[in-house]
Structure 1
C-alpha cells in the first residue's frame, strides 16, 4: 500500500506543480507587463510561477514522509531529549555522578505510584495511536489512493485512552462502527466506542478505548470513621417477615350510603332559592271589556 500511496502523491504533486506554475506565472506576467517589456514580464512570470509551484509540489510529494514523522513525533522528541540530556550530563560530570542521576531519574518515578501510573497511561496513549494506525492500514482502507486517516492526539482517561482522528474522503463513522470488534482486538482493549467530536464536521471523530471498568473498584468512605465505636447498641427484635398475602385476613370496609335527601339550594340573581321550588303559573288573559270596540272574533 505504501508504494501505491507514494505513486499517488507523486502524481498529485506533478499535476499541482504544472497548474500552480502556469496560473501564478500568467498572473505575475500580466502584472509585470505594466512596468517592463512584455518579453521580460513573461520571463519574470515564469520564474515566479516555478518558484511558487516548487514548494507546493514538494510539500505534497513528501507528505507521506511528513505523516510518518507526525506519527512518531512523541517518540522522536522523547529520544532526542534523553540523548541530549545524557550528552550534556556526560560532558559535565563523571561516571559516578552520571549513574546516580540516571538512577534517580529512572527510580523516583517508578517508586511514586501516582507518577508511575501517569507514565504508564501516557505510554498506552502512544501505543494506541500506533495500533489504530495499524487498523487503518490493514482493514479500514476505503479510498483508491490508500491514504490513511490522520491520527491527531491522544490523552489518558480513567478507563483507558481517548484518541482524536481526522478521517479522509471515502471513510465515515459508520465504517468504523461496523469494525469496532476488530479495532478492540488490534488495540488490546476490552472494547472501543467511536463518536463524532464535532457537530459541524463529520470527519472529526473521537475513539474511546476502554481497558478496564472504573465502577468495579472499592471506594473508601470517610463516613465510617465518624461512627463512634463506643456507641451503645440498642437490641431490636426481628419481626416475622410476611411471606404471602391472604385476603380473608384483611377486614372489609363498610360503605355507608349517602342519605342526605335535603333539597339543594342554588344561587341565582344574588339570592339563594330552593331548587325544588315550582315556577309560578302564567297569569290568565283578561276578558275584553265591553264598549272598547274589540271583539274576540276579529282576532280569530
Structure 2
C-alpha cells in the first residue's frame, strides 16, 4: 500500500526550510510551564529562607504540609503524574512538527494552545498555521503516537472552525474516576469531528449529535 503523500518527510519541493526559526517570545511560550514552575519554586525557597532567618516556623510547617500531603496521597500523585505527561506530550508534539512537514515555509509550527489530562491520556488543542490542516495530523498519527510514547492517537477537527484541531493521545484504557477533559467542557463534545470514517462515537455523543441535527 503506497504511503500517504502527506507523510513524505522530504517532499518534492526542496525550498521548504527546516523548522528552527524561533524568536524569544516563541521560546518563552513553549517553555511557559517550566518557567512558572521555576518561579513558584524560587518563591517557595525565598519564603522558607526568610521564615527560618526570622525564627518563624509556622510558614515552614504550612508550606511543607501543602507539598507533602498531596504527595503521599494517590490522588495527588496521579494529578502530578498526569500533568507531567501533559508537559512531555506538548514538547513531543512540537518535536514531531519540527521533524516532519507540519511547518510552514517560514519554519513556523502549529501552536499547542492547551493540553489537558483525560481518562485515557491527554488531549491537545492545536491552532494550525496557513498551509497545515487537520488531515496532516491524521496522516502523521502514528508518528505522533511513537513520539509521545503512547498507544495510539485520535485526531478531531472542529465542525465550523477548521483551524482548530484536537489531538487525543491514548496511553491506556479508560481510567474510572478521572474528571472529564477541560476541552470538552470548553467547546462541547458535539463540536468535534473524527477524521477516521470507521471511528465509532460513544453512544452519549451520538445522541447529542442527533439532538443537535434535529433542532436545526
TM normalised by structure 1 equals 0.48
Partner of 2:24: 65
Q: Partners of 2:26 and 2:109 in 1: how far apart?
A: 9
Where do 1:1-300 residues align within 5 Å? 1=18, 5=21, 64-94=23-53, 97=57, 104-196=65-157, 198-214=158-174
SS of aligned partner of 2:161: coil
CA shift for structure 1 position 84: 1.2
Instruction: Sort the Cα spacing of 1:67 and 1:142 in 2 relative to 1 into closer, same or farther, 3 A.
Output: closer
| Residues 167-200 of structure 1 deviation map (CA, whole Å, 9 limit, x = unaligned) | 101111111111111110000110011111x322
Q: Partners of 1:133 and 1:142 in 2: how far apart?
A: 10
| Residues 63-89 of structure 1 deviation map (CA, whole Å, 9 limit, x = unaligned) | x32122111112111110110121022
Instruction: Sort the Cα spacing of 1:173 and 1:112 in 2 relative to 1 into closer, same or farther, 3 A.
Output: same
- Which piece of structure 1 moves more, 155-164 or 82-91? 82-91
Report if the CA contact (8 A) 2:116-2:124 is conserved: yes
CA shift for structure 1 position 111: 0.8
Q: Partners of 1:190 and 1:2 in 2: how far apart?
A: 27
Q: Gaps (5+ residues) in structure 2?
A: 1-17, 177-216
Q: Partners of 1:68 and 1:130 in 2: how far apart?
A: 12
Partner of 1:278: none
Report if the CA contact (8 A) 2:19-2:109 is conserved: no
Q: Partners of 1:191 and 1:2 in 2: how far apart?
A: 25
Find the structure with the greater CA-based Rg: 1
Flag the structure with more relative contact order, 1 or 2, with Cα contacts below 8 A and sequence separation at least 6. 2
Q: Partners of 1:81 and 1:208 in 2: how far apart?
A: 29
CA shift for structure 1 position 116: 1.2
Q: Partners of 1:100 and 1:134 in 2: how far apart?
A: 41
Q: Partners of 1:191 and 1:140 in 2: how far apart?
A: 20
CA shift for structure 1 position 91: 1.0
CA shift for structure 1 position 99: 7.3
Instruction: Sort the Cα spacing of 1:214 and 1:2 in 2 relative to 1 into closer, same or farther, 3 A.
Output: closer
CA shift for structure 1 position 107: 2.7
Give the length in aligned residue pairs.
157
Report if the CA contact (8 A) 2:103-2:109 is conserved: no
| Residues 90-117 of structure 1 deviation map (CA, whole Å, 9 limit, x = unaligned) | 0122599587666534432221111111
CA shift for structure 1 position 118: 1.0
Q: Gaps (5+ residues) in structure 1?
A: 7-63, 218-300
Q: Partners of 1:166 and 1:93 in 2: how far apart?
A: 47
